[in-house]
Amino acid sequence: MKQYNIAEIAGDGIGPEVTHEAMGVLDLVAEMYGFSVKRTVYPYGSEHYLATKEIFPEPAFEEVKGHDAIFLGAIGDPRLPVGLIEYGIIAKMRFELDLYANLRPIQLYDEKLCPLKGKGPADVDMIIVRENTEDAYTGMHGFAHKGDPLEVATQTMVYTRAGTERVIRYAFELARERNKTKTVTLIDKANAIRAQDIWTRTFAEVAVEYPDIKTEHAYIDAACMWMVKNPEWFDVAVTPNLFGDIITDLGAMVQGGMGIAASGNIHPGRVSLFEPIHGSAPKHAGKNVASPVAAIMATSMLCDFVGEKTAAQAIENAIRELFKSGELKGVGTGTHPTDAVGEMVLNALRAKARA
Ligand code: IPM
Ligand code: MG
């Protein structure tokens, strides 16, 4: 029997609750589809930092690297300095494991989840491929004359040819595999951020190798508009890190809310990281009110990544059917108890297996 070693970092706030439900689903599909999952639990996050001053020690990080995949619940805590834990855990894994493609599917499972008038599941079905190792996130920043009225602050947006090319290529391959409209849209702001001309040129060069894939282009501001006005225009879109961060929160709302949107931080063939895109939502923590759907969908992406496609599809189908039947009313905070949603998904999976 195939065994997958999964590193589990439940993290902060609602992270542990949603992770618990997601891991329950993962265990069940493993049992149903004939593979096994061995999980190693890591305690890292804000609470652990406050208690020990430890963020993500190197020996543990080395161990995590040896897994097949990583699951992260959520991290972040308002008691900590801004960015400390984000850079120490999420960004550390994205950069040091070189997880260059951040896949963020934006898929509407049921019309009633969509805040846009007249848009249904056929209209909202796209994947944003967010570059995940460069841009403003490289952390190259500085201050001069700090605190002075003449203070200067800078942050450098970094784009390398290799980094740009590999993620663009990933998007083209994905469009081919999805076989939807076979379109890749480049989203950038090259008209204002002239350094992004490297994206324009690299995209054009890679596109030549994919004559079967159509190309589109939208500046990020217009892309935000189109995503609301005509989401059906998008199939696969590729974009630099920072714009990808922003537009995928917009995308999450279009598909029903932060409680539904999952992501995979991927380096093909290497250990990769799966997480809901929502944060730790400290004010909802421990109340059993947060939706675990995004976390559960992240396990679907994880299964897909390790090669358990049937299990991945089963999880997605279960979620879709629960929305369709109305059993799952939504993903808003408090719409259903966290554990009740986990239970619903487990039951839906079991019922399917019996049918
Ligand atoms: C995300 C998050 C992170 C990001 C934060 C927590 C640093 O917003 O994964 O989208 O900006 O990438
Ligand atoms: Mg974000």
% of the chain with per-residue pLDDT over 90: 99
Please check whether residues 6 and 79 belong to one and the same domain. yes
Please check whether residues 50 and 121 belong to one and the same domain. no
Please check whether residues 136 and 237 belong to one and the same domain. yes
Please check whether residues 176 and 161 belong to one and the same domain. yes
Give the phi and the psi of residue 223 in degrees, each rounded to 5: -60, -40
| Ligand 1 nearest-atom number relative to CA 75 | 6
The structure tokens listed for 203 are 């995209």
Measured between its terminal Cα atoms, the distance across the chain in Å is: 24
| Ligand 1 nearest-atom number relative to CA 91 | 7
Cα 270 to averaged position of ligand 2 atoms, centre (Å): 23
DSSP string, 287-336: TT-S--HHHHHHHHHHHHHHT-HHHHHHHHHHHHHHHHHTSS---STTSS
For residue 93, which ligand has an atom nearest its CA? 1
Cα 305 to averaged position of ligand 2 atoms, centre (Å): 21
Give the pLDDT score at 354.
85
Q: What angle do CA 95, 100, 105 make, to 5 degrees?
A: 125
Give the phi and the psi of residue 140 in degrees, each rounded to 5: -80, 100
Cα 91 to averaged position of ligand 1 atoms, centre (Å): 8
Alpha carbon dihedral 311, 317, 318, 323, in 10-degree steps, equals 160
Angle between helices 293-306 and 338-354 (to 10 degrees): 50
The answer to whether position 12 is within a domain reads yes
Give the residue from 232, 255, 278 where a domain finishes.
255
Please check whether residues 317 and 247 belong to one and the same domain. no
- Domain of residue 213: give its range: 115-255
pLDDT of 283-341, one tens digit each? 999 999 999 999 999 999 999 999 999 999 999 999 999 999 999 999 999 999 999 99
The closest residue, in CA terms, to atom 8 on ligand 1 is 245
Best mutation site among 245, 246, 273 for ligand 1, i.e. most ligand atoms within 8 A of its Cβ?
Answer: 245
pLDDT of 47-94, one tens digit each? 999 999 999 999 999 999 999 999 999 999 999 999 999 999 999 999
| Ligand 1 nearest-atom number relative to CA 83 | 7
Please check whether residues 219 and 333 belong to one and the same domain. no
pLDDT of 100-142, one tens digit each? 999 999 999 999 999 999 999 999 999 999 999 999 999 999 9
Please check whether residues 150 and 242 belong to one and the same domain. yes
Domain count, the chain: 2
Give the residue from 224, 255, 286 where a domain finishes.
255
Please check whether residues 250 and 277 belong to one and the same domain. no
Please check whether residues 68 and 175 belong to one and the same domain. no
Please check whether residues 6 and 25 belong to one and the same domain. yes
Specify the DSSP class assigned to residue 355. -
Please check whether residues 249 and 131 belong to one and the same domain. yes
Give the pLDDT score at 21.
98
Report residues near ion ligand 2: CB below 5 Å: 245
Whether pLDDT at 33 is above 90? yes
Location of structure tokens 């992501």: 263
Measured distance CA(216)–CA(220) in Å, rounded: 13
What is the CATH number for 152? 3.40.718.10
The closest residue, in CA terms, to atom 12 on ligand 1 is 245
Best mutation site among 46, 72, 90, 134 for ligand 1, i.e. most ligand atoms within 8 A of its Cβ?
Answer: 90
Q: Is the whole-model pTM more than 0.85?
A: yes
The answer to whether position 107 is within a domain reads no
Using CB distances shorter than 6 Å, the residues near ligand 1 are: 86, 90, 245, 277
Measured distance CA(22)–CA(19) in Å, rounded: 5
Yes or no: say if 148 and 120 are a contact pair by the CB < 8 Å rule.
no
Please check whether residues 192 and 235 belong to one and the same domain. yes
Give the residue from 228, 255, 282 where a domain finishes.
255
The answer to whether position 110 is within a domain reads no
